[in-house]
Amino acid sequence: MLKNRKVIVTGAASGIGKEIVKQCLFEGASVLACDINEHSLNDLMLSLDNQYPLHTYQLDVSNHEEVVKFFVYVEAEHADVDGLVNNAGIYLAKNILDYQVNEIDKVLNINVKGFIYLSQMFGKRLFQSQSEGVIVNMSSVSGIEGSSDAIYGLSKAAILGLTKSCAMNFSPYIRVNAVAPTMVNTPMMGNIPEWRKEEYVSHQLIHTPVLPEDVADTVVFLLSDKAKHYTGATFDINNGGYLR
């Protein structure tokens, strides 16, 4: 489905990002896997036994200078890149009343500014050459319905607005869509309060848990030509828990 495609994936070394990397590779794409955790990137590479066209790059998406350097590397080594999955994010599981200023900055710098930096530089490359490409932004059901962590919920709501605006700004060359999963069984889920987990589950119309692989399937679809008529859209993966 993704033959001859080259895709950047941020937050690539664990959870949903790791599954997105694997599914992209299995579908024939080359992948530039970026993560702040170099050790986890090495583990990812080892787990795939060097059988696939996987390249790793240690990157803090919230650091503008690092992102600039990354795109210098992309220009030199991977000029044919045509896909971007903005997935890197953090969730502190804190009540807004308990947030410190530096914690607010950290969440927004990674979860919002990181998406902006990558989208801007990716968009600039493809737009200038009038090349076609795709961006998939990882949002969350909490960006639509609210979160017990208000700063996280804010960051994921911002990504929905960024997705629509980039779809307009990057037209007609780059399609931009968002994915908004419900709770997914990853290490991050362990931080969600029990009452909120129960609330999510009680609303769902389908009782099969959403797995990282399921989210990755949707991302692969959006990266592929099968999704050529979708842009500015949000794909809810929530078992019908929140209908709109």
φ/ψ (deg, to 5) at 137 = -105, 130
| DSSP labels, 185-217 | SSGGGGGS-HHHHHHHHHH-SS-SPPPHHHHHH
* Cα-trace Rg, the chain: 17
User: How many other C-beta atoms can be found within 10 angstroms of the C-beta atom of residue 27?
Assistant: 18
Beta strands in 46-165 (DSSP E): 54-58, 83-86, 133-138
Please, are residues 181 and 17 in contact by the beta-carbon 8 Å criterion? no
- CA–CA gap between residue 184 and residue 193 (Å, rounded): 14
In the numeric block, which tokens belong to residue 158?
Answer: 């911002």
| DSSP SS3 for 58 | strand
- 125: CB partners within 8 A, 6+ apart: 71, 74, 75, 81, 131
Catalytic residue among 57, 117, 152, 200: 152
What are residue 57's DSSP bridge partners? 34
Closest CA to 208 of 185, 225, 179: 185
Report the helix count and the strand count for the chain, using DSSP H and E. Answer: 9, 7
| DSSP SS3 for 29 | coil
Is position 173 annotated as part of the catalytic site? Answer: no
Q: Active-site residue numbers?
A: 152
